[in-house]
Structure 1
Amino acid sequence: MATHSTVPLPLRITQAIGLTSSSLMTGTALSISFLFTPILLQSPSGVLLRQWASLYGTMKTVAQVNTAITSASFFYLAYKIHNREISGWLAGYVAAGVLNVAIVPYTLIVMRGTNGKLLRKEEEVRGLGKMDNAVDITVEGETVHQLVDWWAVLHLGRCLMLGTGLGLGLWSVLN
């Protein structure tokens, strides 16, 4: 069994990259749900839509890049150790990589409806120039506030996947 002192430097660097990027994404995702969204929900509907759309656009790019880095790191580590007698590490790295990639289909399948409603309404309201109004805007019978609140609940699913992936990656490094 390999000890940490016998793990080659390139693999230790890859471990550090995977854990760092996984930690950053997990922390960011949790911050969005528990810190940023409650503050957003205090805004008038038009402002809320604009801020949510801005957050969505920014995080879409950040999450794609971070997911690629994190998953590639964990999959590379699994590949490099697959022929050693350390199957627990292999399973942990593979699972960590899969859980990080899983946020993409989760977003496309589970969150697509809510994301679409919010993005369409933001575009419509922006086109009318009513982004700073205090009137509660509805989308298909739901208020913007209800939709953003529901989006944050759905977002917790991504937080769970990212946090579990981080835990498995950390376990694989420390085990």
Structure 2
Amino acid sequence: MSGSTFALRVAQGVGFTGAAWLSGNIAALSANSVPAIISSVREDNISPNVACKQWRNMYEAGKTQNPPIAFATASSFAYVAWSVRQIPRSLAASAAYGGFGMYVAAAVLTLSIVPYTVAAMRPTNNALLELAESKGDRVTSSAEVEGLLGRWTTLNWARSLLPLAGGFAGIAAALL
């Protein structure tokens, strides 16, 4: 196997696994973490402000971890797109073009978690962060916090689908 073929296969592997891992990591917050916080408010009587602080800690960890993973994954897909566009035209010329476009789509979809977070999730994130930072000078109801956490969970589920779609696009490109 030539060096460039090996590099291409490694980049594909990084792209596929990175997109799948990122999607799962993001989805786990909606499936496990936030519901656990909401259960703590309902069943363990933790204060809504403490719930917001718990959410903030989870959010900060994800904000630190996920964008670099998305960038590395998208970079892998972009490298593969760049590589397959250089493949000499053959009987599968349309497949090579399709592969290029699909790998570009995989890169864009995976990296789109960042603009999605900014555009779609910022108001909810900011409201929760503001509640987490309040020093008891604002009375926060459980219903308000549960509503915000519920909205965040829904938006985050949608965000988790972006790298998943990117991974599927990359796999589809590899199968062309």
- Look up the match of 1:59: 62
Find the partner of 1:121 among 131, 140, 144: 131
What residue number does 1:93 align with? 103
User: How do residues 46-85 of structure 1 correspond to structure 2 at under 5 angstroms?
Assistant: 46-84=49-87, 85=93
Does residue 106 of structure 1 match 2:116? yes
Cα RMSD of the aligned pairs, angstroms, is: 2.2
Please tell me whether residue 12 in structure 1 is matched to residue 9 in structure 2: yes
Deviation, structure 1 residue 128: 3.8
Instruction: Give, in whole Å, the separation in 2 of the partners of 1:23 and 1:159.
Output: 10
User: In the aligned structure 2, how far is the partner of 1:63 from the partner of 1:79?
Assistant: 24
Partners of 1:49 and 1:43 lie apart in 2 by: 11
The corresponding residue for 2:44 is none
Find the counterpart in structure 1 of residue 163 from structure 2: 162
5+ residue gaps, structure 1: 131-135
Structure 2 CA distance for partners of 1:9 and 1:129, relative to 1, 3 Å: farther
CA-CA distance at 1:174 after TM superposition: 3.3
The letter for the 1-side match of 2:58 is L
Report which of the two has the higher share of helix.
2
Shift of 1:145: 0.9
Give aligned-pair identity as a percent: 30
Please give the alpha-carbon distance, in whole angstroms, between the structure 2 residues aligned to 1:69 and 1:88. Answer: 22
- Amino acid aligned to 2:54: Q
Task: Please report how far the alpha carbon of residue 64 of structure 1 lies from its aligned counterpart in structure 2 after TM superposition.
Answer: 1.1
SS of the equivalent of 1:143 reads helix
